Amino acid sequence: MDAVSFGGAGVKGGAVVGSTSKDGREIADRPVTVPDLLATFYAALGVDARKEYETANGPVQLIERGRGRALADLL
């Protein structure tokens, strides 16, 4: 079973998103993708993850366009 926890930056304490089977091997409810998790981190920090940022090596997207949605019930 994979689990992630984080706090601070306005994140609601004690919130749980999704569930697994009793043995923890299968997602039972509400899967969360890595882009969703990253979008949530960026939103909590006030960073616009959909913006394209200029760097010395050219433009960079923090999350691939069209992927990742912040988990609003955690913020």
Phi then psi dihedrals of residue 21, to 5 deg: -65, 170
Token pair 């993708």 in the structure block, residue: 33
* Cα–Cα distance measured from residue 5 to residue 11, given in angstroms and rounded to the nearest whole number: 10
DSSP-derived 3-state class of residue 2:
coil
C-alpha gyration radius of the chain:
15
pLDDT at 1 over 60: no
Q: Which amino acid is at 44?
A: A
pTM exceeds cut of 0.85? no
Residues 6+ apart with CB under 8 A from 60: 52, 53, 54
pLDDT at 8 over 60: yes
Instruction: Quick: pLDDT tens for 35-52.
Output: 998 999 899 889 999 899
List the chain domain ranges: 32-74
Bridge partner list, 22: none
